[in-house]
Chains A and B, each alone.
Chain A
Amino acid sequence: MTALLDIRGLVVEFDTPEGVVKAVNGLDVRIDEGETLAIVGESGAGKTQLMLAVMGLLAENGKAHGEALYRGRDLMQMSPHELNGVRGSQIAMIFQDPMTSLNPYLTIEQQMVEVVMHHQGLKREEARAHAIEMLRAVRIPDPEERIRQYPHEYSGGMRQRVMIAMGLLCEPELLIADEPSTALDVTVQAQITELVRELRERTSMAIVLITHDLAAVAELSGRVIVMYAGEIVEAGSAEDIFYRPQHPYTRGLLASVPRLDKASDDELHAIPGNPPNLQDLPTGCHFRDRCSEAMDKCRRPPPLWLSDSGRMSRCFLPMEGGRLQAGQILPPEPEREPADTAGPAEGEDE
């Protein structure tokens, strides 16, 4: 497999009135051609900021550094003009709320045709035909008629399908979908998921799904990255994550979802505490104040376990079938507290 997008050591920071907040903390992610990758996490995990940073779409108070090699070219070093050439044509991104991503003053036709003319240099008539074809592909009924309508004339599910159609217009190699069905009813969610599955079978597009919804991850399968407080805590195939979760956070997350197929009236398993406050993270393992298995040594940065199959877990608990990342050693049992907690975190990946 060739890497389509190779993100290395990505850091995203925001300037806030309360000081600098680190939303993504030195992340490495590789996305291969044609693969499906799900990035799972709750609020504050950094999953959205990670991709926004790569696409050059951070808010004004945000700064990012690191590398994001797209077919060998670093997106982070590109001028806005170069980046515009990549966005929309090779990489497309769709967002959670279709109503705020569509321009309410323009018809769907105006919004779609312009994109195709700009990126593919087609004439207006050709571009229009292509747009209609895309709307048909996402199963908008009467696309010839409906392309002339405004976003408000579409229902929520239809708008999200239009967003997907727009994302697909230039046949991108990589589609980044940020919570594409979260705002929709389950009945419509089911339709959108089916649509994405179908598209994946028909095209060789790579898909990055950003979500908090484990069920959505299970449905698209593929590889999964679990994030917590700006870091990857666990990674593996969907099978690994769902049937052999290693990290206590992943296990807790899976257990806290009420399931229709395993309905019980027992108390739900809840992860205690609150979502991570990025301004006030615990030192060492950021999850330790909520972790049911926290130990004394968790005050130090946890080691990274890796396996040949590409699994990964960041925890003092050993990973099934894993070995420690080269150069890392487990601290000997009971030991004095590290004097400087900020220092070791930086050298961790060296």
Chain B
Amino acid sequence: MSKPVLRVQDLAVSFRSYTGGLLSRQEREIRAVDGISFELFAGETLGVVGESGSGKSTLARAILGLVKPNRGRVMWLGENLTALDDEAMRQRRKELQIVFQDPVASLNPRMTAGDIIAEPLWTFYPNMDRVQVDERTRGMMKMVGLLPNQINRYPHEFSGGQCQRIGIARSLVLNPRLIICDEPVSSLDVSIQAQIINLLQDLQAKLGLALIFVAHDLSVVRHISDRVLVMYMGQAMEVSEKTRLYRRPLHPYTNALIKSVPVPDPRLAAVARRESWLTGDMPSPFDRPRGCIFHDRCPFRIRRCEADVPALRRMESGDWVACHRAEELDLTVR
């Protein structure tokens, strides 16, 4: 790996929320993504994990310019996407695609599978000849494990897993270099999840794609990722190489997430009761803790955590962490 294809620098997205009546109306800010930075290389998969409300989906959308960031840069092959006008950004979308969570809801029910997959071709290459489009569409269907003779069927005639294959074929039809998958398997049955994960891995190896895989399921992310970004309330807690992250997390929040994952094994489950020391709920987005954003739920907090915001810093291993105590804590997973 040489230079990163994607470099996200201090990216931030806020939403406005209004409370109160007509006269007492107050505007409040929700910081959904709050200064995220990372790099992504060609052929690499970055997993993004965090609880609901941690900002992982907003981050995905901000990278693609689907929501407007209010700070930071998205450097794609050396070019700042956040500075592009709409038409220029539209052209870049050939290279950056997204696969959504709910495969059935994200497909237009009135279009055939073939039309859904071919639509990006019509949009970007309106003069492409029909035969060529048809050929390419059938080729895509074959590549994602659909039968080309299903080209004229409608989404409701497919199962959830097959709809997700249609979504993936559509995202690949323009030969992108980066695909962002936002919870692509969380609405699928277990036996089907595995099919889609294997498919994504095959395609990535075959096409040399860079992949951002957003998911709340840590086992799935462990399986597919090279590195993992752990988010909490819009901020990066840790960005680490996968094996290291799951063996010895650097951040107490990562540790809490890993320890919460249930093991499908009754004997192990009986001895290793899931640690529930991650008490309480995520704080309200209007009432963000001072200092370290995680300190009020952290079992390892010291006084410094209540006042100083820990910067995301690079460790000797090359991993990144935002915790004052990263060096002294040993969070090795047994």
Task: Give me the interface of A with B, judged by CB distance under 8 Å.
Answer: 42-43, 155-158, 185-191, 193-194, 212-219, 221, 238-239, 242, 252-254, 256-261, 263, 265, 267-272, 274-275, 277, 290
Which of A43, A191, A239, A258 is most buried by chain B, counting CB atoms within 10 A of its CB?
A258
Residue numbers in A under 8 Å from B1 (CB-CB): none
A sample of 4 more A-B contacts (CB under 8 A), given A221-B269, A253-B190, is A155-B282, A194-B276, A256-B191, A261-B265
Specify the chain A residue showing the minimal Cβ separation from B258. A260
Our pick among B189, B223, B260 for the contact of A186 (Cβ within 8 Å) is: B260
Contact A187/B260 with A218-B266, A242-B266, A259-B219 known, Cβ cut-off 8 Å: yes
Dominant SS among interface residues on chain B: helix
Question: B194 touching A214 by the CB < 8 A rule?
Answer: no
Question: A218 touching B223 by the CB < 8 A rule?
Answer: no
Question: A261 touching B258 by the CB < 8 A rule?
Answer: no
Residue numbers in B under 8 Å from A42 (CB-CB): 189-191
Question: B264 touching A254 by the CB < 8 A rule?
Answer: yes
Question: A268 touching B191 by the CB < 8 A rule?
Answer: no
CA of A238 to CA of B257, assembled, Å? 25
Total of A-B residue pairs, C-beta within 8 Å: 140
Residue numbers in B under 8 Å from A156 (CB-CB): 52
Residue numbers in B under 8 Å from A193 (CB-CB): 262, 274
> Which residues B258-275 have CB closer than 8 A to chain A?
258-270, 273-275
B178 within 8 A of A: no
> Which residues B136-187 have CB closer than 8 A to chain A?
159-162
CA of A258 to CA of B190, assembled, Å? 9
Task: Give me the interface of B with A, judged by CB distance under 8 Å.
Answer: 51-52, 159-162, 189-195, 197-198, 201, 216-220, 222-223, 246, 256-270, 273-276, 278, 281-282
CA of A242 to CA of B269, assembled, Å? 12
Specify the chain A residue showing the minimal Cβ separation from B187. A43
Question: A274 touching B192 by the CB < 8 A rule?
Answer: yes
Question: B189 touching A43 by the CB < 8 A rule?
Answer: yes
Contact A257/B219 with A157-B281, A186-B261 known, Cβ cut-off 8 Å: yes
Residue numbers in A under 8 Å from B262 (CB-CB): 186, 189-190, 193, 213, 215-216, 218-219
Residue numbers in A under 8 Å from B276 (CB-CB): 190-191, 194
CA of A216 to CA of B261, assembled, Å? 10
Question: B194 touching A187 by the CB < 8 A rule?
Answer: no
